[in-house]
């Protein structure tokens, strides 16, 4: 191997051409890579949606939800089933195990549902299966505002003109217009006039439907060679066409014009929700990209299109541009890598005092990054926060390998060794191979991680692995080749730093004195430094139990999400007024930049964007200020949570599962009161609603039959009168517009307006009140189920503690609570995910340690040499835990990834020492070999440790999207690498001496004569 590497290095032109060619491939791969904010996530969720308009949640549950749940039991690979039955709709969500191919499961679900489709009522719409796609989100949003045009006119312009333009932009998948007012042709019937003529709403709809016909009649044979098609075409093209409709009524054949009994106008559809930003309603256009498009290119083209939009009365504003967030996040990570690389180059220059080596390092870094793009592209990865974070960390790894080679070459030159470059390659290739392999194999356990964990962090591991592989070959081939060709004249500022060198030498001497290895490496002589280090390690193991544990260590973002709840039954207008007041109060907070809202009946969602400068306040402080502001509003409950890319860490969901809904609600209220007793509880929110008031009209079948009416006629009459019916549409230029027929507003204010209607029947009239009974009751607005049983959920928001600690306290309360038979609780997915990840990561770290031991045993051909190196992994992780605990950090998925990185990085120093010791003369006692090895390798170890630390320091201070992941991982690696340097000097020699000379613990299996 060493002869092969030396031969390659000697062929300088060959190496140069290969590197240049590889850089060319790297540039091409970079242009081919897609840009994303986070790695793509594969969804394992399918939903079955079935609509049955006009039916209550309880009826939907009995007729649709339960039969489908029962039918899909036999489908394999199901993890859990959640369902909701709402007004007119059933939605069943199936979570599958990650190994299941969803495209086949979708077909299987469709076939299962089709088997029971015939049992549903005829009015039930065809069930359909949809797959949840986390990537199917808008990437670009345009907001339209106008002082002169109405919201209906804004929406019309958006749909007719702008939507068509935007759909032609390359890479655009879907364009959605939201907000504003939907255009609708209204036929508002005067009940008194209509019924007095003997007409009914049904007859009005039939007449409108009948004259709006486009029917193919057949063919006419004009001759043996020619035929013509015949079509009956009678379309309603304008409101005037509607106004020209006439009715012939009664035996007298009286003509009644539709305008005599109704008002016809171009109106708006009734609102079901509305959206506002900064207190004003607007129309927004949301654009989704297609799956193969480059998001940066698509958003750039969309920006150009928006800049070309011109309308004298409309202002166009880009409300959301995901490419900006992606660019900011990627720029932040890239800048962290650049700053780290620059700092590392400065460290190399200060230690080696030779500008040539700094130039070589500076040339190698960008080449390594560009070559990494080839591997990422070949594995179909994208440029996202995780891959760039891996590249930024990989810069430190690359510099470490290059520093080891350069330092050895420099040392050999100083010692007058012949062919110093080739001797260095011969001495280091195996040491660097061991280091590189151990750095890579620690990521193998991630291949067996859960889907969620793998989706988030496999890209990080891939990019780091790419850097390590490239760093190994560049450091042993390209760096030595550059060292042999870069002339001494390039070190042109060597004389200029003479004065700096004097002061710097004093600084180095002070560091040497501070970390000077004790004179004897015998374990019997214990220095105070050893006692301190052992104490840190001991308390690190203790703190593993007490350190706070989270899924993501989320210190807060620049956005707060609010949920506004009003009493069930509050209409949209009243809800809007209350929410408007809340918006005004929140906007007065000096740290709030803007408030966006989506308002529905008795509920609203708030998106509160904070200013960049919070003047020392945390998002948690801002939430407290907002809560104090809105808590005094009567009849309104506002619930605030943090928002970020990974979700909130301060929420605990508790599912109460049983059969009777009222009993479940009662239990949830009692449990909520118990949870509130915990001092850490901030707010408790019920994720269910009390039943809304409902009037039930029960038809008396005997009187209906005597009146000569049918249930269908009466239900159609009532529905058209109140809700309105759409008999047909008119085609206005390039789109269809609904025609809605219903009673005018004054004729549908109360139930009496409907029930006291006189329905014409032949030559008489029947009062509807005589045909029915009215019953007042309460109806559920939504029924949730979990694994085929009813469920209600409460959410506890907490403070001043971690999710794991709060969940333990809450669970203690729940275990002390007495549940009725067949009723039980289930904690939410956040806690389950946290606990699963803790067990998973503990196993992964043990797995990684085992892989490291096996790899080292193979490379060194010795179990005894490998064992003390392996022991340094738990020692360094324990010490890292000590510092994380002292500095108030937590265990979270980012910290665990840091530990996996440490498992490979932190033993590099130990590998350097043991490999150097093995090469020493056989006659020297092993403790003396270790002492010499520490002295020989101390400078290289100090340089590699500092370069790794400085490469990660910028990540601690990042505040862009994804920084909540980057920061804890950086801290863990920095603490671990700092301690690993000290432990490699102070602890590892004694540890290695003890185990290698021991005859009891490990069999003496070795072929290395020097040990």
Give the domain CATH number at 203: 3.30.2090.10
User: Which of 389, 391, 388, 424 has the alpha carbon at shortest distance from 408?
Assistant: 424
- Residues 881 and 903: their CA atoms lie apart, in Å, by 14
Task: Indicate which CATH number applies to the domain containing 997.
Answer: 1.20.1640.10
Instruction: Say if residue 19 is in the same domain as residue 57.
Output: no
In a domain, 985, yes or no: yes
In a domain, 758, yes or no: yes
Mean pLDDT confidence for 125-154: 82
> Read out DSSP for 125-180?
PPPEEEE--TT-S-SEEEEEE-SSS-HHHHHHHIIIIIHHHHHTSTTEEEEEEEES
Residue 888 has pLDDT above 70, yes or no: yes
Residue 499 has pLDDT above 50, yes or no: no
In a domain, 622, yes or no: no
> How many structural domains does the chain have?
4
Question: Which of 462-466, 623-627, 690-694 has the least mean pLDDT?
Answer: 690-694
Q: How confident is the model at residue 143 (pLDDT cuts 50, 70, 90)?
A: confident
Higher pLDDT, residue 531 or 189: 189
Please report where in the chains the tokens 């058209």 appear, as a residue. 720
Continuous segment of H or E residues that includes residue 899: helix 893-905
Domain of 937 in residue numbering reads as: 517-546+828-1010
Instruction: Say if residue 938 is in the same domain as residue 903.
Output: yes
Higher pLDDT, residue 762 or 744: 744
Residue 479 has pLDDT above 80, yes or no: yes
Higher pLDDT, residue 285 or 926: 285
Mean of per-residue pLDDT scores for the chain: 81
Instruction: Say if residue 851 is in the same domain as residue 1000.
Output: yes
Mean pLDDT confidence for 590-613: 85
Instruction: Say if residue 840 is in the same domain as residue 989.
Output: yes
- Residues 747 and 720: their CA atoms lie apart, in Å, by 12
CA of 540: how far to CAs of 296, 477, 533, 846, 874, in Å?
Answer: 45, 41, 10, 17, 10
- Residues 196 and 105: their CA atoms lie apart, in Å, by 58
Instruction: Say if residue 365 is in the same domain as residue 478.
Output: yes
The last residue of a domain, from among 760, 779, 798: 779
Instruction: Say if residue 987 is in the same domain as residue 902.
Output: yes
Instruction: Say if residue 15 is in the same domain as residue 52.
Output: no
pLDDT attached to residue 958: 60
Dig out the tokens for 688 from the structure.
Answer: 């269910």
Instruction: Say if residue 894 is in the same domain as residue 936.
Output: yes
pLDDT attached to residue 496: 46
CA of 954: how far to CAs of 342, 393, 958, in Å?
Answer: 11, 11, 7
- Residues 1006 and 938: their CA atoms lie apart, in Å, by 27
Task: Quote helix, strand, coil % in the chain, to nearest 5.
Answer: 55, 20, 25
Q: How confident is the model at residue 187 (pLDDT cuts 50, 70, 90)?
A: very high
Mean pLDDT confidence for 467-476: 85
Residue 967 gets which letter from DSSP?
Answer: H
Question: Which of 221-230, 238-247, 461-470 has the least mean pLDDT?
Answer: 221-230
Residue 65 has pLDDT above 90, yes or no: yes
In a domain, 866, yes or no: yes
Instruction: Say if residue 249 is in the same domain as residue 369.
Output: no
Which residues are paired to 257 by β-bridges? 246
pTM given for the model:
0.74
Instruction: Say if residue 864 is in the same domain as residue 926.
Output: yes
User: Which of 844, 130, 137, 134 has the alpha carbon at shortest distance from 455?
Assistant: 134
In a domain, 291, yes or no: no
Instruction: Say if residue 536 is in the same domain as residue 446.
Output: no
Question: Which of 146-160, 298-312, 402-416 has the least mean pLDDT?
Answer: 402-416
Task: Indicate which CATH number applies to the domain containing 61.
Answer: 3.30.70.1430
Task: Tell the burial category of 876 from Cβ atoms under 10 Å away from its Cβ (0-12, 13-18, 19+).
Answer: buried
Q: How confident is the model at residue 102 (pLDDT cuts 50, 70, 90)?
A: confident
In a domain, 15, yes or no: yes
Higher pLDDT, residue 543 or 559: 543
Q: How many CB atoms lie within 10 A of CB 800?
A: 10
Mean pLDDT confidence for 302-309: 86
Residue 877 has pLDDT above 70, yes or no: yes
Question: How do residues 912-966 score in pLDDT, each as one tens digit?
Answer: 788 778 776 667 787 888 888 888 878 778 877 887 787 777 767 765 555 666 7
Question: How do residues 709-736 score in pLDDT, each as one tens digit?
Answer: 888 888 888 888 888 888 888 877 667 7
Instruction: Say if residue 113 is in the same domain as residue 200.
Output: no
Which residues are paired to 824 by β-bridges? 657
In a domain, 754, yes or no: yes
Contact 627, 797 (CB under 8 A): no
HSE on the CB side for 571, CA within 13 Å?
Answer: 4
Question: How do residues 762-799 score in pLDDT, each as one tens digit?
Answer: 778 888 888 888 888 877 788 999 988 999 999 888 88
In a domain, 802, yes or no: no
Residue 489 has pLDDT above 80, yes or no: no
């Amino acid at each position: 191997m060493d002869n092969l590497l030396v031969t390659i290095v000697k062929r300088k032109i060959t190496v140069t051409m290969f590197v240049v060619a590889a850089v060319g491939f790297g540039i091409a791969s970079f242009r081919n890579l897609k840009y994303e904010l986070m790695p793509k996530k594969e969804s394992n969720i399918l939903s079955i949606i079935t609509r049955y308009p006009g039916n209550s949640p309880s009826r939907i549950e009995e007729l649709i939800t339960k039969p489908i749940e029962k039918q899909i039991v036999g489908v394999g690979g199901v993890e859990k089933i959640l369902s909701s039955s709402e007004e007119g709709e059933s939605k069943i969500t199936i979570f599958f195990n990650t190994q299941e191919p969803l495209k086949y499961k979708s077909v299987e679900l469709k076939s299962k549902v089709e088997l029971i489709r015939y049992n549903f009522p005829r009015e039930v719409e065809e069930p359909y299966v949809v797959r949840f796609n986390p990537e199917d989100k808008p990437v670009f949003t345009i907001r339209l505002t106008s002082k002169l045009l109405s919201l209906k006119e804004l929406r019309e312009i958006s749909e007719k003109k702008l939507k068509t333009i935007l759909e032609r932009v390359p890479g655009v998948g879907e364009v959605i217009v939201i907000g504003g007012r939907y255009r609708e042709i209204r036929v508002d019937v005067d009940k008194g006039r209509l019924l007095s003529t003997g007409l009914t709403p049904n007859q009005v709809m039939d007449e409108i439907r009948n004259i709006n016909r486009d029917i193919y009649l057949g063919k006419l044979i004009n001759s043996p060679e020619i035929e013509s098609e015949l079509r009956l075409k009678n379309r309603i093209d304008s409101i005037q066409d509607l106004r020209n409709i006439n009715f012939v009524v009664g035996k007298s054949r009286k003509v009644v014009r539709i305008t005599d009994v109704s008002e016809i106008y171009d109106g708006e559809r009734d609102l079901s929700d509305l959206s506002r930003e900064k207190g004003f309603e607007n129309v927004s256009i949301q654009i989704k990209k297609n799956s193969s498009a480059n998001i940066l290119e698509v958003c750039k083209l969309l920006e150009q299109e928006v800049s070309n939009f011109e309308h004298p009365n409309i202002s166009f504003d880009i409300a959301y541009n995901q490419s900006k967030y992606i660019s900011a996040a990627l720029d932040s990570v890239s800048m962290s890598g650049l700053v780290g690389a620059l700092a590392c180059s400065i460290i190399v220059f200060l230690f080696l005092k030779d500008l040539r080596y700094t130039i070589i390092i500076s040339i190698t870094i960008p080449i390594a990054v560009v070559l990494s793009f080839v591997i990422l592209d070949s594995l179909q990865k994208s440029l996202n926060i995780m891959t760039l974070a891996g590249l930024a960390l990989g810069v430190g790894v690359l510099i470490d390998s290059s520093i080891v080679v350069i330092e050895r070459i420099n040392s050999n030159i100083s010692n007058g060794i012949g062919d110093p470059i080739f001797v260095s390659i011969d001495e280091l290739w195996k040491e660097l191979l061991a280091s590189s392999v151990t750095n890579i194999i620690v990521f193998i356990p991630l291949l067996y991680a859960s889907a969620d964990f793998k989706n988030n962090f496999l890209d990080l591991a891939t990019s780091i692995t790419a850097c390590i592989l490239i760093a190994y070959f560049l450091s042993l081939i390209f760096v030595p080749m550059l060292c042999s060709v870069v002339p001494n004249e390039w070190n042109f500022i060597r004389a200029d730093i003479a004065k700096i060198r004097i002061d710097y030498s004093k600084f180095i001497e002070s560091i040497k004195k501070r970390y000077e290895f004790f004179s004897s490496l015998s374990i019997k002589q214990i220095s105070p430094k050893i006692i301190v280090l052992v104490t840190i390690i001991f308390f690190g193991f203790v703190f593993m139990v007490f350190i706070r544990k989270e899924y993501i260590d989320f210190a807060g973002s620049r956005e707060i999400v609010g949920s506004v709840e009003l009493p069930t039954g509050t209409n949209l207008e009243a809800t809007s007024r209350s929410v408007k007041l809340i918006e005004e109060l929140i906007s007065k907070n000096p740290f709030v930049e803007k408030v966006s809202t989506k308002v529905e009946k008795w509920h609203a969602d708030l998106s509160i964007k904070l200013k960049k400068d919070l003047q020392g306040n945390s998002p948690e402080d801002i939430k407290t200020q907002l809560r104090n502001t809105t808590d005094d509003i009567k009849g309104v409950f506002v619930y605030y949570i943090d928002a970020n890319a990974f979700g909130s860490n301060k929420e605990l969901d508790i599912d109460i599962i049983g059969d009777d809904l009222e009993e479940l609600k009662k239990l949830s209220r009692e449990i909520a009161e118990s949870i509130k007793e915990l001092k850490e509880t901030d707010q408790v929110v019920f994720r269910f609603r009390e039943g809304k008031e409902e009037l039930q009209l029960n038809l008396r079948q005997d009187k209906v039959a005597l009146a000569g009416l049918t249930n269908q006629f009466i239900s159609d009459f009532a529905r058209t009168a109140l809700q309105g019916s759409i008999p047909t549409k008119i085609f206005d230029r390039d789109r269809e517009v609904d025609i809605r027929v219903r009673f005018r507003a004054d004729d549908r204010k109360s139930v009496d307006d409907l029930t006291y209607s006189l329905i014409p029947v032949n030559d008489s009239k029947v009062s509807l009140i005589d045909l029915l009974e009215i019953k007042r009751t309460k109806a559920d607005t939504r029924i949730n189920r979990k694994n085929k049983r009813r469920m209600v959920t409460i959410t506890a928001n907490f403070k001043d503690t971690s999710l794991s600690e709060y969940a333990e306290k809450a669970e203690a309360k729940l275990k002390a609570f007495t549940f009725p038979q067949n009723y039980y609780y289930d904690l939410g997915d956040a806690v389950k995910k946290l606990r699963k990840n803790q067990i998973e990561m503990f196993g992964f770290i043990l797995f990684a340690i085992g892989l490291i031991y096996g790899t080292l045993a193979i490379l060194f051909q010795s179990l005894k040499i490998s064992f003390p190196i392996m022991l340094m992994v738990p020692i360094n992780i324990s010490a890292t835990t000590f510092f994380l605990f002292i500095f108030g950090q937590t265990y979270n998925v980012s910290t665990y990834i840091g530990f996996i990185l440490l498992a490979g990085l932190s033993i590099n120093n130990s590998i350097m020492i043991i490999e150097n010791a093995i090469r020493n003369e056989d006659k020297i006692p092993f403790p003396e070999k270790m002492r010499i090895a520490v002295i020989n390798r101390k400078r290289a170890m100090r340089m590699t440790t500092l370069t790794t630390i400085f490469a990660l320091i910028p990540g601690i201070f990042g505040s862009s999207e994804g920084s909540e992941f980057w920061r804890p991982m950086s801290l863990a690696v920095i603490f671990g690498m700092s301690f690993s340097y000290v432990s490699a000097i102070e602890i590892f020699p004694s540890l290695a001496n003890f185990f290698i000379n021991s005859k009891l613990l490990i069999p003496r299996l070795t072929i290395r004569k020097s040990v």
